[in-house]
Amino acid sequence: MSAQENTILHIGLSRKEIISCLSEANISPVFLFSQDEISKFTSPSDTSSNTVSGQPGKHIVLIDPIVTGANDLKKISIFCEKFSIPAILILESQDLLSLDPNNLVSDFIVSPVREDELLVRSIRCFETSDNSIIDSTITHGDLSINPTNYEVTIKGQRPTLRFKEYELLLLLASHPGRVFDRATLLNQIWGYDYFGGTRTVDVHIRRLRSKIETNPDSSYIETIWNVGYRFKPVD
């Protein structure tokens, strides 16, 4: 049996199974499952990331954090941002709450990975619009959201938001004062029952807060204990 056919135990799928799964949506995976693959992808003298960005079709980077250090993840994020390649971080469930909010990956998935979930999450990484997006700019105090160009500003500064963080913010800010339970947010943003459960919402909210609530006295997103979250109306 080849290395591609071997199931990666903590991930739950083999490389061959992942390739076959994503081929349904014409997406080609870029595996960063070893230090050698990570080094080649992030090395300035190597052309791996440049080659991927120049190839036709859609590519997605899959990251195994077991072999990825914090510095590696930062480098990977920079390269993915530079070449507009989405990246998915594969996590074990116990690592969800310790996820660094500054990690600029497109999304994450909890292992063991299911093929249907991987396919849907990968497809959604390439989505550039959503039916819930409205045309007018939303303003709450120092926070401004322009759905037309996906721009968010706070006191004139633009925080770096991942797409799902932006979707969460847009949904909440579009309905100030309304309480959204975690299950509703999960369904609205992810569009299906995510294997990792509603903790996914909590992690994304925490990451979002770290980027837009720079002033301790300024809280845009309120936690409604045992229920979910709401956007606090700001004059």
Domain hosting 53: range is 15-125
Residue 7 lies in a domain: no
In a domain, 38, yes or no: yes
Structural domain includes residue 6: no
Residue 56 belongs to some domain of the structure: yes
Q: Are residues 184 and 106 in the same domain?
A: no
Query: 95 with 159, same domain?
Result: no
User: Domain check: are 109 and 192 in the same one?
Assistant: no
201 and 150 both lie in a single domain: yes
Looking at the domain assignment, is residue 133 inside a domain?
Answer: no
Q: Give the pLDDT score at 102.
A: 62
CATH number reported for the structural domain that contains residue 150 in this entry = 1.10.10.10
pLDDT for 4 equals 55
Report yes or no on 156 lying in a domain.
yes
Q: Is residue 102 part of a domain?
A: yes
The closest of 169, 149, 167 to 211, measured between CA atoms, is 169
pLDDT tens for the 235 residues of the chain, in order: 455 556 576 788 999 999 999 988 888 999 999 889 988 887 765 545 455 655 556 889 999 878 777 778 888 888 887 777 889 989 887 777 776 666 667 888 888 888 988 988 888 887 643 444 445 788 988 899 987 667 899 888 888 888 888 889 999 998 999 999 988 888 778 765 555 567 888 999 999 999 998 776 678 999 999 899 999 877 6
Residues 186-199: b if buried by 16+ CB within 10 A, e if exposed: beebbeeebebeee
Same domain as 100, residue 34? yes
The pLDDT score that the predictor gives to residue 128 is 43
Number of domains in the chain: 2
What contacts 104, CB < 8 A, 6 or more positions away? 77, 80, 81, 160, 162
Pick from 79, 103, 125: which residue ends a domain?
A: 125
Closest to 211 in 3D by CA, of 126, 152, 134, 148: 152
Which residue, 69, 90, 125, sits at the end of a domain? 125
Q: Are residue 26 and residue 120 in the same domain, yes or no?
A: yes
- pTM passes above 0.85: no
If you ran DSSP here, which 8-state letter would residue 68 be given? -
Q: Which of 97, 125, 153 is the last residue of a domain?
A: 125
Q: What is the CATH number of the domain that holds 88?
A: 3.40.50.2300
Same domain (yes/no): 152, 121:
no
